[in-house]
Structure 1
């Protein structure tokens, strides 16, 4: 007999086995995001202006191919399901591209270095998008009820935080002390090989155990243009997507700049990023239990709004830090806010997916999540522009040309920019409404697609708890 929240009902994927997939998908991309600037800009000498241009081009390409990959996943029909073939194909490709990304020859410079960086950055993001569109699409399918979904989501975010400890906090030690030095690149290549192998094994293990729902795959295959048009006409796509992007871009800035914040703003060896990142991640992991309970009592929307405010306060505190101890103290607040966003953001998106399936009679989670990924593509553009701005305003162009005050430059990059973004998100979240929890039977329409009601689906407004469906 199954119990609510355990995800282990007959024919269902146990929550822990689905969740562990997040460990595999997080290690490669977070090593890339966390070490790219240090590896290419500070060590190899890539000019920040070239970095900014590449990131804008890469974001545009990814914005185009991401919905296409999601749509192809929705249309896939095989005895292995819709999502598993893409997961099994994408895992080895991402691992291989990550190793190549961190294998740039030391002799490369100028345009050769730019091209190497551009090609493998785009390929890594493309295969990461393939994996995450399919992995994320499984969450609302495997766990229709919000309570079950919240448990599975908290477990997978916990695995993501474990991956972050490894791929972010431990990586600087491995790359600059264990396998290499602060001025060499060999340590990055060795670390990438190890992480790639781990990610491949974990993703394959998760994918082979995912039990997709056959009735989702037997429906008429959705068409691309009508589906895209339907999504972009949905107001919730824009309100939830843009508000969530404020959080996503802010964390992208933090992940890409933390090592140089430690080096320049705190005046410490890069290896000390282990302690700052470690405390943020540990607080985030512990906070998932608390935030999951808050979601159960007050609802996902209320908790989402609160988490935004806490995260913004954390960035304000981090700006005032003058040493490792005060930075760690501020990191506790950042970790608490980040934990809340991890526990709630995907639940808000999943409600939008439920409402779309109930209204249109088609399960197109892959395309919808990929469309939401469009806002994630803003991460690359904004981080590229933000890093370029350091050269314009503060004179930081590369490790060879750091300008007069790189410490203040990276304090602005890591604290001021994220604070502004999350403060905007906290205000915007107060005006966002999302559908109430959709009953599981409503998310699996058995008949023809129903006519969309003129008034739209019921939504949670400012008084979220009163609008929650009975549990």
Structure 2
């Protein structure tokens, strides 16, 4: 998680600052590219996950894809932040579009395969919760580097607030770190060979089975409210600091740092809550806290009050990190038990369809700043960019997480399977074979 988080979070956290505010890419072009990028990514995700599930090799199903995806993502990230400063107009748009799409494709390849290992290696929810907390803790360490420290490196250590050289140097460093870590993990992991003995699943029947599963839609759409909200926060926080708080971008280090620190410290607490009350109850509570935190952040007027609100954001985010993947894993367990095949790669990639909404929503959200507030780029920021990014970073995420908190109260998920349960053959079709679910009280 440490290795996979560094590249994609630098990309998502700095792309608006780099392309829109520094290079002058128009937000309308940005929005169009994000919609196209999301559509392409929604198509390639299931294909990548399906290919992973069908892979049979002496190295396992997941490891070969991890070893291929890591160097490709690192190379594309460096290219993404190496756009020549002389590029303008359609040339800048094409460079942004090509490398944004490639970075997301290789990130999807990595995460479909890495994510599939969690339910495979840890079938019991208590073990799964501890393993998930550990990996989320390493993700938060990566976020300190890729989000909190990046503005300092790109605008002060290796470059300035008006130049792009610092981004390229930082991307090279992060790419090397990610490549080494992912390769070490992939070569060290030991997959369960039993899961590769089943018949290779077919793409279209498998997809049809997944989209007919009601839990795919209820859990996926509810989780998307959280995912899109955090995508808005990660992509806009540097410009929130610059325009809404009126501070140098490097000060994002302190705000992001406190949010990540609280999130990391809270993981142990949330894991204990999961052990006592279950993943579903804890997930609902975390959703509600996260929604309230964005309302508090809207009223921050300086770095001190923003950090105070950031403590609440970190608490809610920590709860979501500790539980969201556990809810998804319950759905994967039920699918494996019902159909007698482990196709976590395809199922997680199908869930990735909802994650692809991030690109569409962030594109429309940024474009809306031009419509409502006149912010079109760093060269044309409009009359009130401070309010624009307060809305982008606080109001939009609040609305999304409030919807998610309500929806989470209505979601039902499968009960935890018995410890060390063996996979079963698919039962005959019929209403009597629907999986048991944990009902809303």
Shorter-normalised TM-score: what interval?
Answer: over 0.9
After superposition, residues 25-424 of structure 1 pair within 5 angstroms as 25-424=4-403
1:461 paired residue number: 439
For each residue in 1:416-446, what CA deviation from the matched residue of structure 2 results, as whole angstroms up to 9, or x when unmatched?
000000000000000000001012443522x
Is the contact made by 1:144 and 1:443 (CA closer than 8 Å) also made in structure 2? no
Q: 1:451 aligns with which of 408, 425, 428?
A: 428
Q: Distance in 1 between matches of 2:209 and 2:203?
A: 10
Greater Cα offset, 208-217 or 324-333: 208-217
SS in 1 for 2:60: coil
How far has the Cα of 1:411 moved from its partner? Answer: 0.2
SS in 2 for 1:239: helix
SS in 2 for 1:359: helix
How far has the Cα of 1:452 moved from its partner? Answer: 4.5
How far has the Cα of 1:457 moved from its partner? Answer: 1.1
Is the contact made by 2:298 and 2:394 (CA closer than 8 Å) also made in structure 1? yes
For each residue in 1:332-353, what CA deviation from the matched residue of structure 2 results, as whole angstroms up to 9, or x when unmatched?
0000000000000000000000
Q: Distance in 2 between matches of 1:33 and 1:441?
A: 38
Instruction: State TM-score, norm by structure 2.
Output: 0.99
Q: Distance in 1 between matches of 2:164 and 2:38?
A: 26
Greater Cα offset, 211-220 or 335-344: 211-220
Q: Distance in 2 between matches of 1:443 and 1:458?
A: 17
For each residue in 1:84-111, what CA deviation from the matched residue of structure 2 results, as whole angstroms up to 9, or x when unmatched?
0000000000000000000000110000
For each residue in 1:261-314, what CA deviation from the matched residue of structure 2 results, as whole angstroms up to 9, or x when unmatched?
000000000000000000000000000000000000000000000000000000
Q: Distance in 2 between matches of 1:206 and 1:451?
A: 39
When residues 443 and 127 of structure 1 are mapped into structure 2, their CA distance, relative to the original with a 3 A threshold, is farther
Return 5+ residue gaps in structure 1 as ranges: 1-21, 464-471
Please identify runs of 4+ aligned residues in structure 1 that moved more than 4 A: none
Instruction: State TM-score, norm by structure 1.
Output: 0.93
SS in 1 for 2:84: coil
How far has the Cα of 1:232 moved from its partner? Answer: 0.2
For each residue in 1:167-207, what CA deviation from the matched residue of structure 2 results, as whole angstroms up to 9, or x when unmatched?
00000000000000000000000000000000000001111
Is the contact made by 2:290 and 2:313 (CA closer than 8 Å) also made in structure 1? yes
How far has the Cα of 1:450 moved from its partner? Answer: 2.2
SS in 1 for 2:431: coil
Greater Cα offset, 265-274 or 434-443: 434-443
